[in-house]
Amino acid sequence: MTAAATASKLDMDKFAKVHRLMSGGATEGERAAARARARAEAMAARAGMTLKQASSKMDSKAKAQPAAAQPSSDWRDIFRGMDDWMEEKHPGYKASQAEKKTAREERRADRRRALLKRFGNVSAVFALTEIERALFVAAAPFAKRKINMDWCGTQKFAFTCNLGGAGELDFLSKADPAAVAAIREGWPMPQKLHGMLAEALMWDKLHDDRSAFVEGEYRHHLEVFARMELLERDLHNRPAESWDDVQARFAWEKHKFERQWIDPTEEKEDGLVMTLRRDFEMLRRRYEAPAQNGQDEACAKSTGTNWRTNADKQRDVISLLNEAPHLSDREIGRRTGVSPQTASTWRKKLANQCPT
């Protein structure tokens, strides 16, 4: 049976929607694109066609349509109609998505109110931090800048559009080595992996804070993107020197995985990474606890002890609160072996320690 003979069995409109999703990706990144590809292949197979044949037939149909009727090439149209398709497959999908969107907007509004209470006004939220100012000055000899309105639309600002011959996503591979050194030295780089993790999380938090006031997507200054590339390279490649360094690397991998989701509060997890993280925490407790109790490491190996002191529990709770503050007190307690009340107490203590 030829492709032409079986094409009538294929819902070309629905196939075109799935094909655009497959080609354009989704908010969940490559995983969603892969799932869309599988759906497209299945639709084509049911019609007795390969994905290539179905795609070719779709392209032929699009070319035969009047120009005004052809699908839009605007990326914003990629998902048009997908909500209807998902509702058909999973009744209640639209209501569920609407609830999630409302919850996200409420959290965003809460964040704006908290930031305005802390900073006083929107301009102060977007004002360069001390480290941003230092990087901006250090990058000056290598930067090409254009004058534009700042994010608040109230005054002009010299935005860097090229740094050492490189753009936003290719700094380390294309920039002048002197420009790389300027960003590394413009503000002292952390010497330990957990220090690098702390700075990387700081940049992501700053991004999220400012995004709360932006319709669309907030973009860091190019100097910050360059700095983040340096941090990520070291977090991936620098040898660990301590338990804290290894734990920082686990936390970084978990953070990278979670930040691809549009709504991280859904607590999606990479199963293998989480299992490895729990294995590591068990080994750390096993080998550190005896030393705190006057025992030697050989004793720990021979007895296989898994005793945890209050100091161990405190450290575990604080570590998890720092790397995953969106988790509930109950979940924090479950993962660290303490009561939800203890987790809540330490959450409040950490919040009171934050600078205002």
Residues 158-204: tens digit of each pLDDT: 999 999 999 877 899 999 999 999 999 999 999 899 899 999 999 99
pLDDT digits (tens, 9 = 90+) for 78-103: 667 788 888 888 888 889 888 888 98
pLDDT-derived band at 110 (thresholds 50, 70, 90) equals very high
pLDDT-derived band at 21 (thresholds 50, 70, 90) equals low
Comparison of pLDDT for 220 and 154, the residue scoring more: 220
Which pTM value belongs to this model? 0.59
- Report, in this order, helix, strand and coil percent for the chain, each rounded to 5: 70, 5, 25
- Report d(CA 172, CA 227) in Å as an integer: 10
The answer to whether residues 22 and 67 touch, using CB atoms and an 8 Å cutoff, is: no
pLDDT digits (tens, 9 = 90+) for 183-193: 999 999 998 99
Q: Which sequence spans correspond to the domains of the chain?
A: 3-65, 89-119, 121-238
The pair of structure tokens assigned to 311 is: 């100091």
Lowest average pLDDT, out of 121-135, 210-224, 286-300, 308-322, goes to 286-300
| Model confidence at 23: pLDDT above 70 | no
Question: Where does 293-323 have alpha helices with state H?
Answer: 297-303, 310-323
pLDDT digits (tens, 9 = 90+) for 247-278: 888 888 888 877 777 665 555 555 676 777 77
The answer to whether residues 169 and 232 touch, using CB atoms and an 8 Å cutoff, is: no
User: Any idea how long the chain is?
Assistant: 356
Mean pLDDT of 341-349: 87
The answer to whether residues 100 and 92 touch, using CB atoms and an 8 Å cutoff, is: no
- The CA–CA distances, whole Å, from 318 to 87, 248, 345 equal 41, 13, 11
Query: What confidence score (pLDDT) does residue 333 get?
Result: 81
Query: What confidence score (pLDDT) does residue 226 get?
Result: 96
Query: What confidence score (pLDDT) does residue 210 get?
Result: 94
- Report d(CA 211, CA 108) in Å as an integer: 9
Amino acid 247 reads Q
